[in-house]
Amino acid sequence: MILLLFFTILLSWLFYELYWKRRGYLDGPMPLPIVGNMMPILKTKPGYEAFRQWTKEFGDVFTFWLGQFLTFLSGSKPYLVVTSYKRLKETFILDGDVYADKVFKRRPSPLSRFMFNSLLRLLEGGYLENQWKSCKFQRVRTYKIFMFTYIYRLAEFTVDFYKFFDKQIEEHRSKIDFDSEESLDYAEAYLKEQYKKEAEGDHELFSSKQLSNMCFDLWLAGLSTTHTTMTWIIAYIMNNPDVQKKMHKELDEVIGSDRLISTSDKNNLPYFNAVLNESQRCANIVPLNQIHCVTKDTVINGMTVKKGTGIIPQISTVLLDEKAFPDPYTFNPDRFIDENGKLKKVDELVPFSVGKRQCLGEGLARMELFLFISNFFNRYQVKNLNYFK
């Protein structure tokens, strides 16, 4: 009797997991109970191939079930995945407001607008060019390595991070000229806004705690993405001596060796820019992009999608799109050079994602990559001596 009851429950559960709960969603790979579609992704590390294979089977928008790490007993959850540039344009770009929400929300929107505008102003003012040798973040960077290795000590390190940010902020506050309009960095712009708001009686929105949180967010989102990309760029150039030769030739002809390269040189270095583009495409450092959710009921591929449904702009698949980038796993910067030797714009190059929630630090990151890599290779040649073979 108990055995019969057990099998009835088991079969009902499997029926629910494998068939019933999938009704009303766009077609997609069959999820396993609890883990959803994670297994094929883990098998094909870092996961691109699973998404490329599913695109061939189900088209450029399909349902993907993600197992929940903490609440695994509640089963896997459905997310729509968009895997082609054409479909990303139709949804995240042309209908941006509908796809602007995040499943995990942290920051009220006036503050994210302020963050975006401040970063933009600092870039326009050439802040980075003056500051890129600053080493204040060195100490924090070493913590990162430990953070991921010893996850159980995360809380302790987080406290250290905040102590570090709070100290920097207070030091900064003491040096600010609150009457000047110009700001030298993001924290200064924020503290000036805080000063203004407090004078108007608003002590909440621009709080010091919020500033620490934002510094933490920017640090987390900006540091490992940028240095991972830089490492890949150097690795690709090192392992493609012909590319390095061509790049050095261009640097010698356009820049020479008696000065630093600045952002005003960017447009005169088409091949170098093509190398950066191709490295970012091949490095493809975001194998599964952030989960967004739709802000109202909408229709995708003829199917109604309810407000709040999770949706992923899967940029890794777009970066490996065979139509836009033939032979996608081959490193070939020439694909970004047109017949006149100029840099070619290819819409499918989306390492910073697209739409209303595309990377907030894109301008900053592009500038960092350009300045660091160009100046580095204008001084050095990097060779693979097969040390690790």
Q: Is 269 in the site for ligand HEM (CB under 6 A)?
A: no
Of 215, 233, 286, 320, which lies in the binding site for ligand HEM, with binding defined by CB under 6 A?
Answer: 286
Q: Is 39 in the site for ligand HEM (CB under 6 A)?
A: no
Which span (32-40, 155-163, 254-262, 350-358) binds ligand HEM, by CB under 6 A?
Answer: 350-358
Residue 327 region, left (φ>0) first, then alpha (ψ -120 to 50), else beta?
A: left
Which span (12-20, 45-53, 176-184, 286-294) binds ligand HEM, by CB under 6 A?
Answer: 286-294
Nearest to ligand HEM by Cβ — which residue? 361
Detail the residues annotated as belonging to a binding site for heme.
359
Q: Is 353 in the site for ligand HEM (CB under 6 A)?
A: yes
Q: Is 50 in the site for ligand HEM (CB under 6 A)?
A: no
Q: Is 82 in the site for ligand HEM (CB under 6 A)?
A: no
Q: Which residues contact 384 (CB under 8 A, 6 or more apart)?
A: 238, 239
Cα gap 122→135, rounded to integer Å: 18
Of 191, 276, 364, 371, which lies in the binding site for ligand HEM, with binding defined by CB under 6 A?
Answer: 364
Binders in 116-135 for ligand HEM, by CB under 6 A: none
Q: 59 pairs with which residues across the strands?
A: none
Q: Which residue has the tokens 């941006």?
A: 96
Q: Is 351 in the site for ligand HEM (CB under 6 A)?
A: yes
Q: Is 284 in the site for ligand HEM (CB under 6 A)?
A: no
Q: Is 83 in the site for ligand HEM (CB under 6 A)?
A: no
Pairing of strands 292-293, 310-313: antiparallel
Detail the residues annotated as belonging to a binding site.
359
First to last CA, the chain: 62
Q: Is 313 in the site for ligand HEM (CB under 6 A)?
A: yes
In the complex, the smallest distance separating the C-beta of residue 314 from ligand HEM, rounded to whole angstroms, is 10
How many CB atoms neighbour CB 134 within 10 A? Answer: 10
Q: Is 285 in the site for ligand HEM (CB under 6 A)?
A: yes
Which residue lies nearer to ligand HEM by CB, 82 or 261? 82
Which residue lies nearer to ligand HEM by CB, 34 or 295? 295
Calculate Rg over the CA atoms of the chain.
Answer: 24
Please state the length of the chain: 389
Q: Is 372 in the site for ligand HEM (CB under 6 A)?
A: no
Which residue lies nearer to ligand HEM by CB, 36 or 313? 313
Of 221, 234, 254, 343, which lies in the binding site for ligand HEM, with binding defined by CB under 6 A?
Answer: 221
Binders in 158-187 for ligand HEM, by CB under 6 A: none
Of 229, 279, 314, 374, which lies in the binding site for ligand HEM, with binding defined by CB under 6 A?
Answer: 229
Q: Is 365 in the site for ligand HEM (CB under 6 A)?
A: yes
Q: Which residue has the tokens 């695994």?
A: 72
Which residue lies nearer to ligand HEM by CB, 191 or 360? 360
Of 22, 358, 372, 375, which lies in the binding site for ligand HEM, with binding defined by CB under 6 A?
Answer: 358
Closest by CA to 123, choosing from 276, 266, 315, 271, is 266
Q: Is 357 in the site for ligand HEM (CB under 6 A)?
A: yes
Which residue lies nearer to ligand HEM by CB, 41 or 215? 215
The size of the interface with ligand HEM (CB under 6 A), counted in residues, is 23
Q: Is 281 in the site for ligand HEM (CB under 6 A)?
A: no
- List residues binding ligand HEM (CB under 6 A): 102, 217-218, 221-222, 225-226, 229, 285-286, 289-290, 313, 351-353, 357-361, 364-365
